[in-house]
Every structure is written in structure tokens, then in C-alpha cells.
Amino acid sequence: MSMSTTTSKCNNDNKSDSTNFNKFKNYSALYDYLTGTGAHNFTDSVTIGFVGAYGQAPVDLGALPLAIEAVNADKDLLPGRELKFVTADIGSTRSSSLPTRAIRAMTEMRDNGIVAFIGPDASCLPEALVAAAWNLPMISYKCSETKVSNKKIYSTFARTLTPSSKVSKSVVALLKAFKWDKFVLVTGSTASSGSEVKEAIEDLATREGLMVIESKQYSAFYIPRYIEEMCNVVGDTYRITRIYVFVGEHIALIDFIKCLQRRNLLYSGDYVVISVDDEIYDPNRTIKILSRDYLDPFLNESWDKVMGFRSVLKLTPSYPGNPKYKEFVEKIKALSIRKPFCVPYHATIFGSISVSIGAARVFDAVFILARALTEVFQVNGDPRDGIAVIKRILNRRYHSIQGFDVFMDANGDAEGNFTVVVLLDDERANGTQWMSMQPVGYFQYKHNNSSTLPEFKYLNPDRPIQWIGGKVPAAEPECGFFEEKCVNPVDWKIIASIVLISIIVMVAILFGVKHYRYEQKLACLLWKIDMKDVTIIPTETTEVKNRNMIRVCRQSVFHAPTSSSIVEISDQSPKRAYTTIGLYKGNIVAIKNLNKKSVDLTRSIRKELKQIREMRHENLIPFIGASVDHGHVAILTAYSARGSLEDVLKNEDLNLDHMFVSSLVTDILKGMIYIHDSDITSHGNLRSSNCLIDNRWVLQISDFGLHEFKHCNDELDFDNKNLKRMLYRAPELLRQSSPPLRGTQKGDVYSFGIVFYEIIGRNGPWGKTAINSSILEIIGEVKKVDKLIPFRPPLEDLGIPEYILRCMKSCWEEDPEIRPDIRFVRVLLKEMQAGLKPNIFDNMLAIMEKYAYNLEGLVQERTNQLTEEKKKTDALLHRMLPKYVAESLKKGDKVEAEIFDCVTIYFSDIVGFTELSAVSTPLQVIDLLNDLYTCFDSIISHYDVYKVETIGDAYMVVSGLPIRNGDRHAGEIASMALHLLSKIKKFEIKHRVGEVLQLRIGIHSGHCVAGVVGLKMPRYCLFGDTVNTASRMESTGEAFRIHISHATYMLLQRLGGYICEERGLIPIKGKGEMYTYWLIGEDSAQRMARIREEIAGSTLFNSISSERLSKTPDLLRRPGVNLLGSELHFPSPSQSPFAIQHLHNRARLALSLHHSEEIIPQENQLMSQMCLGNSRVFNSNNQRNPSSAPIISFIQKDQIL
């Protein structure tokens, strides 16, 4: 079929302009025939209705049949179904009856079974409302009404046309991208010229924290003769802004730019205009977008006017990027001349007609509708359910025929894609056109979310915006629009010069003052000491020797109960000072006399003395001063009472364990690192005799620095003492006839290696080699350079870890350059320092305790007999009186009687004891009572009770005094009574086998007074009615039963876990009738819980973790001696050791009762193990009060805890 035939056919069919609403034709079959499309294997069809004004945009509507064809050809869209369409021409959009005709057409389409509407054109409010009422989807490609975005009313409406207000997001995003936080908005006064966009920009800018300084509007239907009005807008605002946002027609923008140019505002690059244009950027128009030649072809614009657009950023809808878009346009033209649109065809005119972007929107509308219907069919939904269909369109992206993705927001509005177009150098330019408007950026939404602003991105980062002046203009001048932020502008060059000169002068003055003070310090001789102020202390040379074996009893409760420790101490070292000592200003100082007659105090020597005086480090011996009196030159340093490292290593009685050695080595390394980092740079004379130990067991390096001061010391160079020093010197220094005075850092590393070897081997700096060779022979071997293996101390039989061996060898390297520096040596020995605590004070205390252990042995040896006798006396006294009373009497203090608010008193006797005594001999009675009370005493030692006295067969015990224990006294007595009652049933009478003693027990709680009675054979007695009542409870009781008063019963009920039986009112002599009870038994689990709570609250266990406390039964299975040191804190000196012992006993008893085990009768079991010896190696853990003697605790190192 030819084109003319088709046109003629269209003309015959269209006989009138009126629209036939009664009959709709389905053009899908006709279209298939005309286009030659073959038959499809469809099983069903879906029909959509197109409602529009054919006469307004007939060429664009050719996209409708083209979209239908594309959908039916796509196997993924509506599979098994054919998409068809019907159309209705509702006439001219200028007619007031247009909505009525559109609704009539929609009604007839609905009645004929269509499932959705495409259209209508400009007017859409009534149609969208009717579609929502019918619940049929409607997708418009041209409607620009803002009200249809309300989904509460127009619930089934969507549109592929981007509303003009949507550009506001891109505008605000562009402003924020360049940090323009304030601007002036200029818009037209009509909707077409930007009034709707104005409101959208203002609202969004306010929400995003941007300031609209002022909003200006120009007259509606702007024409160039209104340019003065535009210039007035510029005149009113240019002083208060640097950024303009212009929304309006292109012709108005040109005049706006002219007005800015008249005031020369666009040439400095300070002003920027963001222009919003609804015309799509066409890359084929280039410079014409700036001019008005299409409006006024006789108006010539000069390049100066055009250059004003260098400060303009135009936001335009993005140009289609689909490479097949031109082919798409040609197909639309071809289809528009056919039915149902029947565009009149003329070859010349038709070729120049352009297809608007509306055609692409029609095509997109059909496609997104087909996609939504496909998804509805997939879930067996109703295609006529408009809400379900629209739901699958909103908040989704779709790929437009234009070649880019478009996001449909929650209101059914297409967000649109906008491009930033600016004036750039044209690489394709010829001689007449050297710049053109070109796209530089676009906007992209993140994560399919249109609720946030899009992000501005450059199309090509290598071709950004060419800003005038080379930088992005600021939204506000640095000093503000009216210089209000910069008061009294000044010449910064002058200020900078003044400041610079002032700084130079101040620095010069500072250096001058510093130099003057430095010279003053050098001249003032603060280090100088007059020997007249020093009192020489004579040294003690008497050697004290004692080779006796001593047993050291460690004063701690944390010992392994099955091990012992015996330490042999043979003090053979002389008790004397290792150097001359004196008293200077109340402090003991060490005096090193130099064999020099005088010292010339040159500036370098004064500087050296000042440096050494200012050096302060915990591992360097403090320099006190120097004496330069004529004929007497000496150096005074702090005195280290424990001598040198050499002395310590020679003391075989001192056990140096791993921690001790690690601490000493670490101290040397820290001190040497400080020296190497200081102005002294090196030691030059490091050896074990120069490593001193103070009374805190901190190693301090001495004899460093003052090299010039000590130079020319008149000591003999080849005596044995000086030769021994050479054993520590590096081979390269031994070979030099005049080695440097201060030595070298690498030489110090070698010396450290020798000292390290000496510490590890404890056999001198060269070990076994020094036995077989003289010092001169050793030095000669070290100096040799032709030896394949350098001569070094022997490393055999040391038994040291591999990392220590490697460190020694690296320190002894023949080549000094290969040796590590002192800092790296510390890194090599990092594994050795792993056991040290990070706190130096903790290490110091640990070392001091180890030393105190040895010292304790010496003191104990000399006072052994006195101690043994004192223990016997104390043990006898403690059996007679409470321990705190005994201690008070020993001190000569008066023991005052004390009132106790509430205690529990226990009385018991043996029923039938008189008859038993009558048939027994006195010795048998004594043996019986001795066995009985020994058994009783062993049991009560496990409870918080105090035995008052025994009279014949009567046994009296109290709890709650002399040490108060809250309300626990009732529970302690009750548990003890139950324990005694269970034990008496198994007690055997030696001389009357088979008979059982009938124990009768009475308990009462109340207040009483306790005190010491008498001076000779003093006794600790109880007074008060509570004692009498407890005795009455016993006398009115029964055999094998525990009779308790109401007061005791109430306390036991408060504690819980005790089983009592009511006895009733019993007449009590002197008291009348009393309500009493029988104590039957107790819940061992509740008692265990109370003991765990008591242990948790004790200061002894205040550092046990909550996890360990939750496992208290397991904890109680382990005696206190086996607890890890990290789990416990040691008690303070004020903590009574007897209370600690008692707590352990109670814990052991509770465990035994819990497991129904027999209690081994023993008295002071834990204390009896405190003096057991052990020859194993121990680690120490301590907590010390600074004002008290050391409390030393040793735990086996090799025992698995």
C-alpha cells in the first residue's frame, strides 16, 4: 500500500471534525495489516484506551502504535496476551467542553472493556478523578497539573511528563554541590514563566538549610521592551547576593544577563546565574541557544554580550541519548499519517516537521503500563484494579526510549533528568565560533530514592566548568556583602610584614635570653660542692659470718599445705660500703675521688657538668655535684646501699630468678637508651661494677659522662683493676691506641652483651675462660683481627633460650656496623620482659620482697630461740584468753569490760555424768573428759565461736564476741550444736565400750557484758541474764536434743535454713514461763550460700571475679593456699591473721558438711603448715603498706593451680 493511498483513505474516513463517542474501532488488527506484522500466537487480548486531541500533536501520537508493536514483540511483556488499543479524539483543547467530552469517551471505553487509559492532554483533573473513582489506571504524557500529584485523591494516576516543579531538586542539589548557601530567586509571575517552580525551590531550599535572600518576579508575558524592569530587579539585589537562580523564558534570561553586564558584574567571576530552561538542550544548535536570532533575525549580538553567559549555568531537560532515537522519530512520522491520526502528508513540509519529546513520553507510558500489567497477571491479579497496577509503577525506575533511566516517584510524577549546560571552549570551533554551550554535568538519585536530593556529577571530570578567575565563586564575600564582617580593612601586606618582623625580633630575643640564661647557668657553678660541707662516714670492715641453717617462716596464709621450703643462707660477704661515702645536706652520697690535682673549668667542662646535673632518669645514678678544691677533685653521686651489680652476682645466697634477671636487664637497657638519646650520646665505660643497685632494687647506671672532667686521671693504666675493665671494651676500641673518651654507641652494645652474659652465667664477664687464661691473654685474643671465629665468652652449658643466645651473639659481632643499636636490643629481648609488670613500682616491690625473703632468714636465724619461746608463750596465752585481749595485756593496756548487744550462748552437759563418774576411776574420768573436749575443741575451731570455759561435764561456748559478727552468731552456735550432737553419737568411751554419752544442749541469745577478771590467772568471763537463761535452757532440756529460746528461734528464722520444732511454754526458774523450741536440723545448701556470701564480702577475697564466686563450691574444694595470686588481694596489715585463718576453717567445714565428710580433728591446721619448708623456686605476690614491714607471700611456680 502506498503512502498516498493511505492518506486518501484517511481523508475519506474523516468526513467531519465531530467526534463519534458511540463507536470505537480497534485499530490493532488494521495496524498489523498496514505494517505487515505477522500473526501472533496470542490466547487473549488486553485493550487500552487512548484519549486525546488529535489536532494538537498528531505527529507525536504516532508513538502509540509504535509502542503497541514493541510491547507485543517483547516476549517478557504480557506473555500469551496481545495488547490492543482504541482511540477517541475529543477535539480542540481550547474548548470549554473538553472535560465533558473526554469523560463521555472514557465511559464508553470502560463499557467496552478497556483496562487502562493513556492520556488525556493538557486538561486532566476531571478525567483523573473519574479514573480514580472507577479504579482504572490512567497514565498521561502531557498533563502538567500539580494537583494530580495528590495520591489520596488521584490514586490511579501517573504521568511520564516531568512537572515543572521537579527541577527544584536539581537546582538545590547544584547549589549544595558548590556550597552556595544563599541566593536570590528571580521568576516570572505566571505558572508558565516559573511561579510554580518558585514555590518549590523556596520550600526545598528552606528544608535543606539554604537561605533565599530575596525572591523577585517580573511581569507576565515578558517582551524585550520590559528590559528596564529586569534591570531594576538586578539593581535591587546585586548588593545582597552573588548567586542568582533565574526561572523564566529564554528571552527574559538574555535581558537579565544584559542587565548584569551593564553593571559589569559578570566579568570578575564573583556572580553566577543558575538558569532553569524547559527547552531540551540540542547539541546541534550550539551558540544559537544564547541569541535571539530565531526571534529577531536582524538583531546582531556581539561576542562581548555572548561572553556574559560564561557565568550562566543552564539546567535543561536532558537530550535523548538513545543512538536509535532518530530512527524512532522517523518511524513515528511514518505511522502518524495512518489511521487513526491521519496527519496530512506533504513531502516538503513533512520532512521539516520535528517530533517533540512528547512522543517519547507516549511511548514510555505504554511501556510502563505494559510492565505493570504483566506483573499483575503474574500474581493472578485483576488488570482493571487501577490501584494494584499503579502500585507497580510508583517508586520505580524505567528505561526511557530517550536512552536513560527515569524514576517515577510516590506521587506518580516522573522525576526527569536534567543536564547542566555551560559555555565552554569548543574543540570543534572554526575561525568565527570559538565557544559553545556544552553539557558538563548531570544529576543522579541514589538507591532508587527520590526523597533525597540527587547528586551532581560531571560528565567528564577532565572537562569541568571553566570558572572565571579559576575558582568557584563564593555565595558571600569573605567580609560580607557590606563589609560588615571585616571592620576597618587594612593592608594585609603591612600587617604581615610587621608580624613577620615582630616574630623574628621575638625569636632573636628569645634565643638571646635563652643563651644568656644558659651562660649564667654555666657560670654560676650550681654543681660545685665544698668538701667542708661533706662529712665522711667511716666504713665498717668487720666480716660477719654465719653458716647456720635457718628455717624461714613466711608470714602469709597462702602456702601449699603439702610442701615446705628451707632456705640456706651463708652470709660471707663483708658488710662494708663499696666506695667512700659521706653525708651531704642530710643525704648519704658516694664519693669518687679522682687522682687529679686540679681541673681547669673551661666552657666545655662547665657545659659537661651542667648536662650531667640536668640528666634525670630512674635508671641513671643521680649526680649530686663535684668538688674542684685545690688538691682534691671528686665526683659526688647518690649512694646505692646494695652495692653494684657485680656484688649482687657474686652473692651466691641471693637467688636470681627469671623475673629478677629480666628486671635488671630491662633497667640497664632503659638507662642506656636514655644516654644514647641524650647529648652525651654514649657511655664508654659500661660494666657490671658501674651498674649500681639502690635500696629499692632498681638498677642505676653510673660513671657516665664527664669525660673531659675525668680526663688525665692519674690512675695506673695496667693495674689489675683497670685491666679487668678492659674485658668489657669492644675489640675495635681495644685496637686503638687513643680510643675516644666517650666511647661509641656500638661499643656500648658490645659492653652490654658482656654484662648480659655475666648476669646470665653469674661466673664473671668471661666465665670459664677467665679461669684458664689471664686477663692480658683474653684481651690479646679479643684484639686479634685474623681469627676466623672471634674470641668470645663460652656459651656452652648456659641452658638459655635461643632468643637470648641470638641477642648475645649479635651484640658481640666483630663488625660494629652489624651490631644492633641499643633500642633494637630491647626489641630482641622483648620476650624476656613478658613477665614484668608494666608498672615499675610493682616490679620494684616484687624484687624487694625477694630480697626481704633472704633478709628475713638472716634476722630469723639470730632470733630463732627467742621466737620459739615467744610462740610457746603466746600459744599458751591464746588458749586462756581471746587473742585481742591477750595482745592488749601483752602491750600493758587495760582491758575494759565491753557490752555486746546480742550474742548467742551455748551450754551443754552430759546426762548421767554423776552416775558415770561414780563407777569410773578419777583417771578414767579425766581421760574421758580430755577425749570429749578434744573432740569438741576440734569441731568448734571451724565455727565463728569462742570457748568460754569447761566445768566438769559442762561446756560453754559463745558467738558474737569478742569479735562482733552481726546476726550470724545464732547460726554459728546452731550449726555447731548440730555438729556436736551428731559427733557425740559416734563418740566411744574407752573404758565403757558400747555406752553412748547423752549430750544435752541449751542455747539462748541476748545481750551480755564481757571482760577480764583478776590480775593473777586472769579469765575472760561473761556476765548478764543471758548467761543464766542459756544455762536454764540446758538444764530444762532433754538428752540428744537442742533446746533453744524464743530469741534464738527468731534469729534463726531470720537467717533461714534451720528446722525447729515448737516445744511450748516451759517454766524456767527465775523467769517464769518461756516459749521454747527444739532445734532439729539445718539446710546445708543455705549455710553454704551464707558462707559464700561471707567469703565474697571478705577483704581477703575482694578481687575474686564474679564468675569464680558463682562457682564457690568448686572454690572451696581448693584450700586457700592454692588460689592464684591474680585472683586474690593480700590483706592489709590491719587485717587480723586469726580472722583469716578462721574464715578458711569455716569454708573447709562448710564443704565437708556439704559432702557429708568427716572433719579431721586438728587444731590450727592451717597455721601449723605455715613454717613448712620447700626448696623449690617461688614467685612472689605482694601488697604492701608503705609504713609497714614487708608482707611476703610465696606461691609455687611449678605447681599447676
Query: Mean pLDDT across the stretch 1083-1092?
Result: 81
CATH number of 3-161+325-393: 3.40.50.2300
Q: In angstroms, rounded to a whole number, what is the distance separating the alpha carbons of residues 573 and 543?
A: 7
User: Which H or E run contains 73?
Assistant: helix 63-73
* Helix and strand numbers, DSSP H then E, in the chain: 39, 32
Q: Angle at which helices 745-761 and 802-811 pack, to 10 degrees? A: 140
Mean pLDDT of the chain: 78
Stretch 694-716: mean pLDDT: 80
Per-residue pLDDT at 174: 95
SS (H, E, C) 401-468: CCCCEEEECCCCEECCCEEEEEEEECCCCCCCCCEEEEEEEEEECCCCCCCCCCEEEECCCCCCCCCC
CA distances from 545 to 577, 641, 1145 (A): 17, 20, 42
What CATH architecture does domain 164-279+281-317+419-458 belong to? 3-Layer(aba) Sandwich (3.40)
Q: Do strands 1041-1045 and 1072-1082 pair parallel, antiparallel, or not at all (unpaired)?
A: antiparallel
pLDDT tier at 949, thresholds 50, 70, 90: confident
What length is written for the chain? 1201
Highest mean pLDDT among 370-384, 452-466, 703-717, 1105-1119 belongs to 370-384
| C-alpha dihedral sign at 406, 409, 414, 417 | negative
Helical H runs in 992-1136?
Answer: 1025-1035, 1046-1055, 1084-1097, 1106-1109, 1112-1117
The three three-digit cell numbers of residue 305, written as one number: 554580550
Q: Is 398 left (phi over 0), alpha (psi -120 to 50) or beta?
A: beta
User: In whole angstroms, what is the distance from residue 690 CA to residue 228 CA?
Assistant: 97
Beta strands in 445-584 (DSSP E): 455-458, 534-537, 580-584
DSSP state of 1105: -
- Tell me: pLDDT of 298 over 60: no
Cα–Cα distances in Å, from 469 out to 267, 268, 311, 465, 1186? 9, 7, 11, 12, 74
**DSSP 3-state percent helix, strand, coil across the chain (nearest 5):** 40, 20, 40
> Residue 70: how many CA atoms within 13 Å on its side-chain side?
20
pLDDT score at 716 = 44
C-alpha dist (Å) from residue 488 to 165, 485, 915: 45, 10, 120
Query: What residue type is assigned to position 916 of the chain?
Result: L
Ramachandran region, residue 981 (left: φ > 0; alpha: ψ -120 to 50; beta: rest): alpha
The number of angstroms, rounded, from the C-alpha of 840 to the middle of its chain's C-alpha atoms is: 26
The stretch 719-745 carries a mean pLDDT of 85
Q: What stretch of H or E contains 700?
A: strand 699-701
- Bridge partners of 1045? 1076
The β-bridge partners of 184 are 214, 244
Is pLDDT of 1106 > 80? Answer: no
Position 979 pLDDT exceeds 50? yes
Among the listed residues 854, 805, 146, the one whose alpha carbon sits nearest the alpha carbon of residue 554: 854
C-beta separation of 84 from 46 below 8 A? yes
The span from the CA of 807 to the CA of 753, in Å, is 8
Question: What's the CA gap between 952 and 926, in Å, rounded?
Answer: 9
Task: Please report which confidence band the pLDDT of residue 304 belongs to, taking 50, 70 and 90 as the band edges.
Answer: low
Give dist(CA 904, CA 1054) in Å, integer. 14
List phi, psi (to 5°) of 903. -135, 170
Q: How high is the pLDDT of residue 472?
A: 93
pLDDT digits (tens, 9 = 90+) for 804-857: 999 999 999 999 999 999 999 999 998 887 766 665 566 667 666 766 666 676
Cβ neighbours around 164 below 10 Å, total: 20
Query: Where are the domains positioned within the chain?
Result: 3-161+325-393, 164-279+281-317+419-458, 490-524, 532-550+576-850, 896-1082, 1100-1170
Q: How far, rounded to the nearest angstrom, does the alpha carbon of residue 572 sit from its chain's CA centroid?
A: 56
pLDDT for 380 beyond 90: yes
**Residue 1114 φ/ψ, nearest 5 degrees:** -65, -35
| 668 Cβ contact list (under 8 Å, min separation 6) | 619, 691, 699, 701, 752, 755, 756
> Which of the two residues, 517 and 392, has the higher pLDDT score?
392
Phi, psi of 746 (to 5 degrees): -65, -35
Provide the pLDDT for residue 232.
Answer: 93
Three cell numbers at 773?
Answer: 687464661
Same fold yes or no, 3-161+325-393 and 164-279+281-317+419-458: yes
Whether a cis peptide bond, with omega within 30° of 0, leads into 1067 is no
Q: Please name the amino acid found at residue 638.
A: A
Helices 968-984 + 1046-1055 axis angle, to 10: 100
Helix (H) or strand (E) holding 1077: strand 1072-1082
- Alpha helices, DSSP H, located in 263-385: 303-306, 325-336, 347-352, 358-378
Q: Is the dihedral of CA 81, 83, 84, 85 positive or negative?
A: positive
Inter-CA distances, 572 with 96, 566, 849, Å: 128, 19, 21
Asked if 224 and 230 touch (Cβ cutoff 8 Å), the reply is no
Peptide bond into 454 cis (omega under 30): no
Q: How confident is the model at residue 421 (pLDDT cuts 50, 70, 90)?
A: very high
- Check: CB of residue 1002 under 8 Å from CB of residue 954: no
Section 727-747 average pLDDT? 90
SS (H, E, C) 908-947: EEEECHHHHHHCCCHHHHHHHHHHHHHHHHHHHCCCCCEE
- Tell me the percentage of the chain whose pLDDT exceeds 70: 76
Q: Which CATH number fits domain 532-550+576-850: 1.25.40.80, 1.10.1740.10, 1.10.260.40, 1.10.510.10?
A: 1.10.510.10
Rounded Cα distance, 780 and 139, in Å: 106
What pLDDT does 118 receive? 95
Q: Is the dihedral of CA 1018, 1021, 1023, 1028 positive or negative?
A: negative
Q: Terminus-to-terminus CA distance in the chain, angstroms?
A: 105
Reported confidence tier of residue 978, pLDDT bands at 50, 70, 90 = very high
Residue 936 to residue 424: CA distance in whole angstroms: 110
What are the C-alpha distances in Å from 688 to residues 342, 624, 634, 668? 114, 22, 22, 10
Residue 7 has pLDDT above 60, yes or no: no
Confidence of residue 293 (pLDDT cuts 50, 70, 90): very low
Cell numbers at 1041, concatenated: 536434743
- CA distances, 259 to each of 215, 233, 309 (Å): 17, 9, 12
pLDDT greater than 60 at residue 944: yes
pLDDT at residue number 839? 58
pLDDT, position 1172: 31
Please give the distance of CA 403 from its chain centroid, rounded to a whole number: 49
The tens digit of pLDDT for each residue in 167-183 reads: 999 999 999 999 999 99
Going by the DSSP 8-state scheme, the letter that residue 544 receives in this structure is P
**Cβ(977)–Cβ(1001) under 8 Å?**
yes
Which residues lie closer than 8 Å to 808 by C-beta, 6 or more apart?
753, 756, 757, 795
- Segment 988-1003 shows an average pLDDT of 87
Q: CA 54 to CA 60: how far, in whole Å?
A: 10
Residue 910 near residue 999 (C-beta atoms within 8 A):
yes
DSSP alpha helices (H): ranges in 239-287?
250-262
Q: pTM of the full predicted structure?
A: 0.43
Protein fold of 896-1082 = Alpha-Beta Plaits (3.30.70)
Task: For residue 384, give the amino acid letter.
Answer: R
Instruction: Look at 213 and 786; give whichever has higher pLDDT.
Output: 213
Q: Is the pLDDT of residue 357 over 50?
A: yes
- pLDDT: is 191 or 908 the higher one? 908
Cα 105 to its chain centre, rounded Å, is 70
